[in-house]
Amino acid sequence: MESASYWFGPEQALTLVRSKPYFWSDEVMRTMTVTSLPACQRRYPLPPDGGQAGSVKVFRTAEGNYVMQDGMGQYRVEIALCGMSLEGKTSTLGTLLGSFELVPEGGIRFAPASGS
């Protein structure tokens, strides 16, 4: 199991968890935990990754919400309500904050965008 978090305040975060249920499988199960303490904390399944998802990019919208995008889809996050939903790809992503990416030595990390 591997995890990485992006904290944007002392009590608000997005945490990506990747786990491989069977060592012989190439498929990786993924979940995103949306945290806004003390109000809420919810975990959402993302589509399994068989190698095509790539990094998960995180954007901040003008409305103050977040959009995450990977090779499998695009997800809208309402941090105050700990809500997350799959949405169609849109051209209005917002400001790139960074991305969850694989580390060559193993594991994952959140890499801030340059200038963030």
Q: What percentage of the chain has pLDDT greater than the value 90?
A: 48
Question: Is residue 75 within 8 Å of residue 67, measured between CB atoms?
Answer: yes
Domains: count for the chain:
1
Mean pLDDT score across all residues of the chain: 87
* Residue 10 clears pLDDT 60, i.e. is over it: yes
Residue at 28 is within a domain:
yes
> Residue 66: which domain range?
2-111
Distance CA 8, CA 72 (A): 24
Residue at 116 is within a domain:
no
CA–CA distances in Å: residue 70 to residues 2, 17, 67 = 18, 15, 10
Strand partners, 70: 73
Provide the whole-model pTM.
0.87
Average pLDDT on 11-15 reads 93
Residue at 11 is within a domain:
yes
